[in-house]
Amino acid sequence: MNSYGKAFRITTFGESHGAGIGVIIDGCPAGLAIDTAFIQHELDRRKPGQSRITTQRREKDEFQLLSGVFEGVTQGTPIAMVIPNEDQRSHDYSHIAEQFRPSHADYTYQAKYGTRDYRGGGRSSARETAARVAAGAVAKLLLQQLGVSVQAYVSKVGTLALEKHYSEMDLAVAEENAVRCPDPATAQRMFDLIDQTRKHGDSIGGIVTCVVRGVPPGWGEPVFDKLHAELGKAMLGINAVKGFEYGSGFEGAAQYGSQHNDAFYTDEHGRVRTRTNYSGGVQGGISNGEDIYFNVAFKPVATIMQDQESVNRHGETVTVTGKGRHDPCVVPRAVPIVEAMAALVLADFYLRSKTARIES
């Protein structure tokens, strides 16, 4: 199904080359001021054509707000937003009507549904994520009121890793360069690597790191819907994601408990804190008040400007020829998408936390 969230719930729709894409947010509390410029700003961060290292598809990605907001304030009713498609160059894609592009969703959609909208990947296009970004912007507005911030950045491109810990950098710097890496020198090297990859008609993978600050203790559900489990699902639901880790992550699996345990202490404000944060801000599936941080691994995008072996709908061998526009590296544009999905998870858990106990 095409919905995410329980209390703060979104449902998205739309294909790459249909009339448009969009989203309904259901469950957003009444009384939230909606800053439409902020929503558009978030969409602009995701939109194509921002630099020469992103796809040159032309989309203004201007959203229309259809419902749920009256006099600038949410009404507790569903908030519908639509982003019309403009650059519907169907002829760019007609050659793939019969072919299955390697590592795309062409074959699996056909296998599952017996039909598919082959234009630009149809529903499997990353264009669908614009709807998530619009909804995530509303979630961010809700979280802002609670003092919660969500900031993501590119921490690796190919084998080129940013070596600094998030706490050593001003993450806002990430928005100042096309790669969205908060370390300018590394950003430049990443840019060059992506640009070189683009010139070869190839693509390259990368990692996005996300940091959430200000979540109070008590968000998250303890068993299946652990805070990090929902974050993981939300991230793995983004196109091209291959892995998720939070806190110490895969490295933590190589450690001893005596190293890895986070000692509690009481800080000068009387707040219970931990001296280290291998837990990544989540213990037993519930936030503990420390920073939540996690990594999201993106594969190289499947569209490349090279000839590839494949088959068509009849199982016959064909050569897929690279055409059209593509992102040589998805991670710069993935940054706002990661943030949006994280914000949606957190907004949902915030609302769910309100029924955890009897009011005293």
- Given the rule CB under 8 A, which of 44-52, 168-176, 182-190, 276-284 is the region that contacts a copy of itself? 276-284
DSSP string, 306-351: S-EEEEBTTS-EEEEPP-S---SBSHHHHHHHHHHHHHHHHHHHHH
Task: Please name the residue that has the structure tokens 């940013």.
Answer: 162
Selected binder of a copy of itself within 91, 114, 163, 268 (CB under 8 A):
114
Comparing CA positions, the residue from 138, 137, 132, 143 lying closest to residue 3 is 132
Contact between 117 and a copy of itself per CB under 8 A: yes
- Angle (CA) 227-228-230 rounded to 5° is 70
Q: Which residues of 119-134 are buried (b: 16+ CB within 10 A; e: fewer)?
A: bbbbbbbbbbbbbbbb
Contact status: 120 vs a copy of itself (CB under 8 A): no
Q: For residue 139, give the 3-state DSSP assignment.
A: helix
What residues between 289 and 328 interact with a copy of itself by CB under 8 A? 289, 295, 297-304, 306, 308-311, 315-317
Residues 212-241 contacting a copy of itself, CB under 8 A: 217-226, 228-230, 232-237, 239
CB 148 within 8 A of CB 58: no
Q: Using CB under 8 A, which of 34, 82, 130, 138 touches a copy of itself?
A: 82
Q: Give the one residue of 133, 204, 211, 346 binding a copy of itself; rule: CB under 8 A.
A: 204
Interaction mask 245-264, a copy of itself, x per CB under 8 A: xxxxxx-xxxxxxxxxxxxx
Compare residues 76 and 172 and give the one whose CB is closer to a copy of itself. Answer: 76
Q: Measured from the CB atom, is 70 or 172 closer to a copy of itself?
A: 70
Q: In the complex, what is the shortest distance from the CB of residue 182 to a copy of itself, in angstroms, rounded to a whole number?
A: 18
Which residue in 158, 157, 187, 189 sits closest to 170, CA to CA? 187
Q: How near is the Cβ of 164 to a copy of itself at its closest, in Å?
A: 18
Contact flag: residue 93 with a copy of itself (CB under 8 A): no
- How far apart CA 190 and CA 235 sit, in angstroms, is 22
CB nearer to a copy of itself: give 176 or 251: 251
Asked if 356 interacts with a copy of itself (CB under 8 A), we say: yes
Provide, rounded to whole angstroms, the least separation between the CB of residue 214 and a copy of itself: 15
Binding segment for a copy of itself (CB under 8 A), chosen from 87-95, 174-182, 183-191, 285-293, is: 285-293
The window from 34-42, 50-58, 88-96, 243-251 that contacts a copy of itself (CB under 8 A) reads 243-251
Q: How many CB atoms lie within 10 A of CB 178?
A: 17
From residue 12 to residue 51, the character string flagging contacts with a copy of itself as x (rule: CB under 8 A) and all else as - is: xxxx--xxxxx-x-xx-xxxx-------------------
* Measured distance CA(182)–CA(193) in Å, rounded: 16
Based on the shown chain and the rule CB under 8 A, indicate whether residue 202 belongs to the binding site for a copy of itself.
yes
Is residue 72 a contact point for a copy of itself (CB under 8 A)? Answer: no
Q: Among residue numbers 162 through 181, which ones bind a copy of itself (CB under 8 A)?
A: none
Say how many C-beta atoms besides its own lie within 10 A of residue 221's C-beta: 17
For 117, how many CA atoms within 13 A lie in the half-sphere containing its CB?
Answer: 14
Length of the chain: 360
205 vs 239: CA distance, rounded Å: 12
The neighbouring-strand residues paired with 23 are 12, 81
| Residue 109 binding a copy of itself, by CB under 8 A | yes
Find the shortest distance in angstroms from Cβ 183 to a copy of itself: 18
Give dist(CA 53, CA 51) in Å, integer: 5
Report DSSP state, residue 164: S
Q: Does the footprint of a copy of itself cover residue 209 (CB under 8 A)?
A: no
| Sign of torsion over alpha carbons 123, 125, 127, 130 | positive
269 binds a copy of itself (CB under 8 A): no
Q: Does 91 bind a copy of itself (CB under 8 A)?
A: no
Tell me how far, at minimum, the Cβ of 269 lies from a copy of itself, in Å.
11
Q: Find the shortest distance in angstroms from Cβ 170 to a copy of itself.
A: 25
